[in-house]
């Protein structure tokens, strides 16, 4: 099983919107994913929704930075 538990979106320092990150993961054969944007949960609902619609498991994985 392929899992990617460290993905970032445009909500923090990534290059793709949260929903696009989940679509790309599914297209590339990932079966379990986590959106780990820095210091925010703003993209989680979008990524999780797409992941579930595409049949992926989703792991809630906050990524707080101790320095803010």
State whether residue 41 is helix, strand or coil.
coil
**Residue 46 covered by a domain:** yes
Q: Provide the pLDDT confidence category of residue 68 given band limits of 50, 70 and 90.
A: low
State whether residue 67 is helix, strand or coil.
coil
Domain containing 14 equals 3-58
Number of domains in the chain: 1
**Residue 25 covered by a domain:** yes
- 64 has pLDDT over 90: no
Q: What is the mean pLDDT of residues 2-18?
A: 96
What is the rounded average pLDDT for all residues in the chain? 94
- Residue 55 half-sphere exposure toward CB, CA atoms < 13 A: 6
**Residue 7 covered by a domain:** yes
């Amino acid at each position: 099983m392929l899992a990617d538990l460290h993905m970032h979106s445009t909500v923090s320092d990534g290059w793709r919107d949260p929903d696009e990150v989940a679509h790309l993961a599914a297209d590339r054969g990932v079966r379990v994913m986590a959106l780990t944007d820095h210091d925010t949960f703003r993209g989680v609902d979008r990524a999780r929704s797409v992941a579930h619609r595409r049949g992926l498991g989703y792991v809630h994985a906050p990524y707080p930075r101790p320095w803010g």
